[in-house]
Structure 1
Amino acid sequence: MSNENILSKFYAAMTQSPQLSSQGPINSSAIRQDKKLALEKASSLLSYQNYLTQARSWKAAQKGVPLTFEHEVQAQASQALSDGQTLAAATLRATKHLKQAGRLDHMLNSWIDGVKAAGSVQINDLWNDLTNDPQARQLLKDEGLTEDLWTTLDENMKKLGGLLVLQDGKLVSEVKLAGQEQVQRAVLIHSASGAPQSLDGLLRRGQFERMVEQFDQSNGASLGLVASEPHDLEIADVILSGAFQSVQLLAQHKRKLEDTGLSTYAGNDPFIIVFAAGLLSVLIGGYLDTYYCNDGNDGWVCKLGKVLLFLGILAMIVGTVGLGVKFIISLNSLNVLNLGLH
């Protein structure tokens, strides 16, 4: 069967997935404001990345630079960290709103229906189909996604490979970055409801809301990740882990500049732009789905929103391995987010 036929079945089933009876109201204006803020901060982070590349080249050519220049680079890194915190916070606010309204569970239902109809879906086929749609590109441009941001998003999403399949009725992603051998396998599940069935389930109940509140209080600076046993993941928890990870990466980058100065090569420094692309994709996708699809309209814009949000989630799942990030263990066990990947 051709990729075109597989995607046709996937999209048809995905967009026909029934609404949840428990779905609550959405403040699309609030999500639109967060989308606008996220685009602004993502553009600022991209400018910082370009500045950093030029600064490294200039230092290498000069065979050394004044201390005042190093201080300026550090000041720019501080601003980049602030921008990353704002981008992550905007994404978490929107995610919290989508979760509480039941919109994330509805999206998961639609993805499950799509994969069930298609059998399995190649992840890169989803992105390639989106990029080859001029109507989709124009809409994203109209919504503020500049050419530079689109190019960056495109470069990062093209790195995603792997499959979406169903296993025992659950959606399973088997994802890896281009050039990487290790596959990240994640099972995505609906938000927990009803009485917890285990102590682990009880401890995780309400974790997302608690972590978002603590992120707001500390800008993500005092919180970290700790490796845990593999477990099924709620969509909101994946986004939460990406938000924490992005801030921690920028904080590490800033500390390295303060400790050792600006290197003249990029090396293996983890950088925010991969996670920024994932967070931005989630926020824009969630915005499109809520802003354009509140009246039962499941047209191509709704499809675009669901695909963008899902690809952003996959980027955050695979980004941990692709960037070679080590888990950061918080001293306060109450401030730890467990990210369980297979």
Structure 2
Amino acid sequence: MFLLNIPLLNLVMYSRSNKRAVAEAGGVQVVLDLIASSGGDTSVQAAMFIKLLFSNNAVQEYASIETVRSITAAVEKDLWANGTVNEGYLKALNALFGNFPRLRATEPATQSIPHLVTSLKTGPEPTQEAALDALFLLRQAWSACPPEVSSAQSTAAADAIQFLQHLIQSGPPRFHEKAEFLLQCLPGILTVVIKRGNDLKQSVGNPSVYCKLTLGNTPSRQTKIVSTGPNPEWDESFMWSFESPPKGQKLHISCKNKSKMGKKSFGKVTIQIDRVVMMGAVAGEYALLPQSKSGAQRNLEIEIIWSNAVSNSST
């Protein structure tokens, strides 16, 4: 079908005035109709047509923001109506986002994000890549968007946190840079699970042990006090909400003895938490410092998770 429009494609390829004329004559709607009614190959060509049609500043200035919004709304209505999105459709949307920076701050762009996340999670690799590209384009505009727009878009995109972490660990290498870029600015929840302590012995009596957690300037948190011997079990979770990942911050966990007998502290663990944002979860035994001068090394078993608020509230 689209091959019949090759003369039109050639007409706008090299002439700024022709591009304006085609836009004024309803050429955009022709492309939208092709996207809505045709297969993936035609959609890819339609996306190329959109890119050519709006590839200079003069035409971008001619197109009002109302026109841009109506174009996006029409595209999205066609894209999401039947619940199936292919690579071609997403490339058409990316062509609009790429050639109309103002479009990225509109309500239709925000409303497209859940569909982009779904395509990223469930689509084949070419569709995933196109969805990732669209999210990346939107993210690039957040610093210039009104705060309420960037907040709404980042919150919607946060549903992709776990899958972006999966892409970094096991996805195609070409996905990694954009996935990392997105993860570095999405709001999330830091969950710290204090599981148990090992070899918290003292010479007289059983200790009454608790852990105190400190992160940045936030109020400190504290576990319950356990008096069951040298290997206390807490299995307690603590959560912090962040509008963006806490870069460069360290989690400090002090292990203290409430008992009147024995030493007052078993030591401290300091953990740099940046890595968990990319990994998703980090767990292990962390040595309490300073190290005991006699006996086995004291440690805490800890798990740290970075995820979105939705996944935390459902677990």
Shorter-normalised TM range: under 0.3
Q: Choose between structure 1 and 2: higher strand proportion.
A: 2
Bigger radius of gyration, 1 or 2? Answer: 2
Larger RCO (CA within 8 A; separation ≥ 6): 1
TM-score scaled by length of structure 1: 0.22
Q: Choose between structure 1 and 2: higher helix proportion.
A: 1
TM-score scaled by length of structure 2: 0.23
